[in-house]
Amino acid sequence: MPLPSADTSVLYPTAGPGSLRAHAIVLHVQPHGDDRELVLLDRTPAHPVDRAWPDQGPDLGTISTDEAESPLLDVVVGATDGTSLFVGDEVPVRRGAEGWALVVAHVLQAPTRIAVGDDVVVSVDPARRHGLSVGHTLCHLASLALNAAFAARWSKPAREDALGRPDFDHEAIQSSTIVPNGSVDVFRLNKSLRRKGFGTDGLAESLAAATESVTAALRGWIATDAPVRIERDGDGLGDPRYWVCDLPAVARGPVAGPAASARIACGGTHVASLGELGTASVSLGLGEDDGTPTLTMRCTATARPA
């Protein structure tokens, strides 16, 4: 069975009925391990986990034909050069590699009785998707709010974030995990961060104030119900995508600043407007990972239904 030469078209980035359920044509089926099969489609509403940066996990759902319905056991980013298909950790190339197609690999229990050319329906669990979209939008807002809360700690010019503040999140992030209605970010406070100009003096004593500042910023932004949109260069899985939110002016506090359009490179799913987050809460805690001091930021939202 030939492998596809073009990226899978992805339907999940933009809101709309096709982002949760869509018809698709089967392009390729192959065995995967002892008891699973990989199914590639021309297009899909199912968000795959990208093992290179696994912040948002896979959608759950089903693929159905006229005869049968198979649950999605996993949905992962794969890549093919036309000869071989690599999935998950085995993908040997980065996005945009010449001669490679990035594909969404749907992992199903074997035997699927799904064949090349079949017209199938992919359905995504809407509750899980919404929870992850809430968590992911919250995560981006929280990173901007945390950067603002820590802006005065920088003694050297640093890379700027989407709102023009020193980008602590980018410089220090170790892992980011989107959970239903929340996110957990772990930051490394190591020597290289300090050499770049980030000061950690008195950080423990200032965490309560930083938590308050991040919380206030989140709640202020959410109260405006500003729309969120995804901009993309194309509908292929490998085409760059951006989370864009026109954040209103904030008059007071550490996050004060003029209205600004925040644009962050992101392959995940998001809510359509900030009001869907409901009420946000934040906690910041210091820790240690193998001798390196860390900061963990946990965010949760009560989530208002869309």
Of 97, 137, 129, 99, the closest CA to residue 238 belongs to 97
Rule CB under 5 A: is residue 87 a binding residue for Zn ion? no
Which one, 153 or 232, has the nearer CB to Zn ion? 232
- Which of 37, 58, 268, 271 binds Zn ion (CB under 5 A)? It is 268
Distance in Å, CB of 170 to Zn ion, minimum: 12
Distance in Å, CB of 291 to Zn ion, minimum: 29
User: Beta 241-247 vs 260-265: how paired, if at all?
Assistant: antiparallel
Residue 231: C-alpha distances to residues 15, 186, 203, 214 (Å): 12, 27, 36, 26
Query: Measured at CB, which residue is nearest to Zn ion?
Result: 266
Distance in Å, CB of 265 to Zn ion, minimum: 8
Which one, 56 or 80, has the nearer CB to Zn ion? 56
Which one, 85 or 266, has the nearer CB to Zn ion? 266
Rule CB under 5 A: is residue 24 a binding residue for Zn ion? no
Helix (H) or strand (E) holding 132: helix 126-149
Q: How far apart are CA 23 and CA 247, in angstroms?
A: 36
Determine the interface stretch with Zn ion among 4-12, 264-272, 276-284, 295-303 (rule: CB under 5 A).
264-272
Rule CB under 5 A: is residue 138 a binding residue for Zn ion? no
Which one, 172 or 266, has the nearer CB to Zn ion? 266
Contact of 155 with 199, CB cutoff 8 Å: yes
Rule CB under 5 A: is residue 266 a binding residue for Zn ion? yes
**Cα dihedral angle (7, 114, 88, 236), rounded to 10 degrees?**
20
Rule CB under 5 A: is residue 262 a binding residue for Zn ion? no
Which one, 70 or 133, has the nearer CB to Zn ion? 133
Place of tokens 């969120």: 228
Rule CB under 5 A: is residue 299 a binding residue for Zn ion? no
- Ranges within 180-239 binding Zn ion (CB under 5 A): none
Of 72, 87, 67, 55, the closest CA to residue 21 belongs to 72
Which one, 20 or 139, has the nearer CB to Zn ion? 139
Which one, 176 or 213, has the nearer CB to Zn ion? 176
Determine the interface stretch with Zn ion among 44-52, 93-101, 221-229, 268-276 (rule: CB under 5 A).
268-276
Number of residues that bind Zn ion (CB under 5 A): 2
Side-chain half-sphere exposure of 184, counting CA atoms within 13 A:
6
**Contacting residues for 153 by C-beta, under 8 A, at least 6 apart:** 168, 198, 199, 200, 203
| One-letter amino acid of 49 | V
Which residues make up the interface to Zn ion (CB under 5 A)? 266, 268
